[in-house]
């Protein structure tokens, strides 16, 4: 087992490699408790490719760890939550994305922590004001909504306000969530976005989506039940 610096280099080489599936296989063969620390580093210090590979790897490894040692997996989530706490002194880049990825991959952790992830959307909760963090949060909630929509649906009343965000990427990411949830409550807000020509890009199912907000809104509207006129 390589030492700290060598391990960090090994993890980085795997994250930046051409085949993420092979990298995940290799990372999962290493002791989970030791791999997690380097992954935290790459959530916010790596380039975009390394960041999203680290998000995926953290979800995979934390879920695998939870099957063996639930408390050790909870500690990972608490660290991510601490990074989003003002008292941490940091900003928490990558933390909500990693939370969403972990919860999408492990039902037990999702049932325990989904409400905390949702709380970051609430003005009366742990609201995140920074728009870049809101992007990460809405991506993480979207990742969870893809797999466990029932755990996200309760947050729809707090999510619909993001459809009016000044940040086009925030608008697109919340529209994407509404599509995953087939949220009828969001119809009016989604319809208002069907003329939104703002260009956006975000990580989506292992690749970059590049398009316009209206494309995401149209796709979300297509999931809603037809309305008779």
pTM of the model: 0.94
Q: How far apart are CA 51 and CA 149, in angstroms?
A: 25
pLDDT digits (tens, 9 = 90+) for 12-63: 999 998 888 999 999 999 989 899 999 999 998 768 889 999 999 999 999 9
Tokens representing residue 130 in the block: 């920074």
Q: How far apart are CA 144 and CA 211, in angstroms?
A: 22
Smallest Cα–Cα separation from 162: which of 194, 201, 129?
Answer: 129
Burial label for 59, CB within 10 Å (0-12, 13-18, 19+), is buried
Q: How far apart are CA 122 and CA 125, in angstroms?
A: 5
Report whether pLDDT(156) > 80.
Answer: yes
């Amino acid at each position: 087992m390589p030492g700290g610096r060598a391990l960090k280099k090994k993890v980085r080489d795997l994250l930046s490699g051409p085949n993420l599936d092979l990298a995940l296989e290799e990372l999962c063969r290493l002791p989970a408790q030791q791999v997690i620390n380097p992954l935290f580093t790459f959530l916010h210090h790596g380039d975009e490719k390394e960041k999203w590979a680290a998000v995926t790897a953290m979800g995979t490894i934390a879920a695998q760890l939870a099957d063996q040692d639930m408390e050790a997996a909870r500690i990972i989530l608490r660290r991510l939550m601490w990074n989003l706490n003002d008292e941490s002194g940091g900003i928490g880049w990558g933390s909500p994305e990693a939370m969403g990825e972990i919860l999408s991959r492990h039902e037990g952790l999702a049932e325990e922590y989904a409400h905390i992830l949702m709380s970051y959307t609430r003005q009366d909760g742990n609201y995140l004001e920074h728009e870049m963090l809101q992007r990460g949060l809405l991506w993480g909630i979207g990742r969870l909504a893809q797999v466990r929509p029932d755990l996200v649906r309760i947050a729809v009343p707090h999510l619909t306000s993001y459809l009016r965000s000044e940040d086009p990427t925030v608008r697109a990411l919340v529209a994407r969530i509404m599509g995953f949830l087939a949220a009828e409550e969001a119809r009016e807000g989604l319809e208002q976005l069907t003329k939104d020509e703002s260009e956006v890009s975000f990580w989506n199912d292992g690749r970059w989506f590049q398009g316009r907000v209206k494309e995401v809104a149209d796709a979300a509207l297509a999931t809603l039940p037809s309305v008779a006129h």
